[in-house]
Amino acid sequence: MFTEIIDGPGGATTGSATEPHALSLLRRADNRGYAIEPQLNGGVIIRCRRVSLSSRTPLLRTITLAPQVPAEPTDVDLSNLRVIASVPVVRLVDSETYTLPVIEAGTYAIPPSQAERLLAQGFLLNSRDEHLRLTLAARLTLVAAKHQAMDSSDRTTTWCSCGLAVHCKNADQAEARRRGHLAAVGADFVQSLDATFTAAVAAV
């Protein structure tokens, strides 16, 4: 579940959004060309601009989807999520080594304490066939982790952890370039979600 915050010229409203509704919002935003910015906590910010018919000035409207249990992923969490994303079958199974179940992802076993962290942060859900799947929040976290802004004393250059480095005329242009990069990443992310994942979300 997400908390949905809509903020625009008329003020802000807050409500709840299920995973299927959140996915629907992302697809609609992508179709309309809105900026989609995945967040490390498993959420996403959707930004859209429109021109006021009365004043002809651009108006910004944002939709923020924040997980009701915000994630705080460690490097170990992210590493485990990448392993899970790379294999077709993931299950919670009994272990001969531990007294508590482990997450079995291909030939890799995620120990109970690490498995518990992933489940507690809302990164995994049981599907109808008893397999675990990454949630939308987990997928958003993985994308955001790959594209984090890098701190630098040079405010005229935008740096991304994916390797992007673009020098601009000033700090405002650098920030605009960073947001443009994130919007492109967000669009690619939504378009990459396959029918299997969509069907799994719809079955929630």
Name the token pair of 101.
């179940």
Please compute the mean of the pLDDT values over residues 131-138 and round it to a whole number: 95
**Pairing mode, if any, of strands 132-134 and 108-110?**
unpaired
Question: Which pair of structure tokens corresponds to residue 195?
Answer: 């029918």
Q: What is the phi/psi pair of residue 133, to 5°?
A: -135, 155
Which H or E run contains 20? helix 19-31
Q: Which positions ≥6 away from 204 have C-beta within 8 Å? A: 18, 19, 20, 125
pLDDT tens for each residue of 147-173 = 998 877 788 988 899 988 888 999 999
Q: pTM for the whole thing?
A: 0.91
Spacing of C-alpha 178 from chain mean position: 17
Tokens of 73: 């992923």
DSSP 97-142: S-SS-EEEETTEEE-HHHHHHHHHTT-EEE-TTS-EEE-HHHHHHH
What's the whole-number average pLDDT of the chain?
91
Residues 34, 3: contact at Cβ < 8 Å? no
Identity (one letter) of the amino acid at 126?
A: N
Query: Domain coordinates of the chain in residue numbers?
Result: 2-67, 75-120, 148-202
Q: How confident is the model at residue 80 (pLDDT cuts 50, 70, 90)?
A: very high
Sheet with 44-51: strands ordered across: 11-17, 2-8, 58-67, 44-51, 35-38
pLDDT of 13 strictly over 90: yes
1-5, 111-115, 200-204: least confident range: 200-204
Q: How much is the average pLDDT of 176-186?
A: 92
Write out the H or E segment, with its range, that includes residue 45.
strand 44-51
The encoded tokens of residue 55 equal: 């004043």
Contacts of 126 (CB under 8 A, 6+ apart): 92, 132
The whole-number pLDDT of residue 97 equals 86
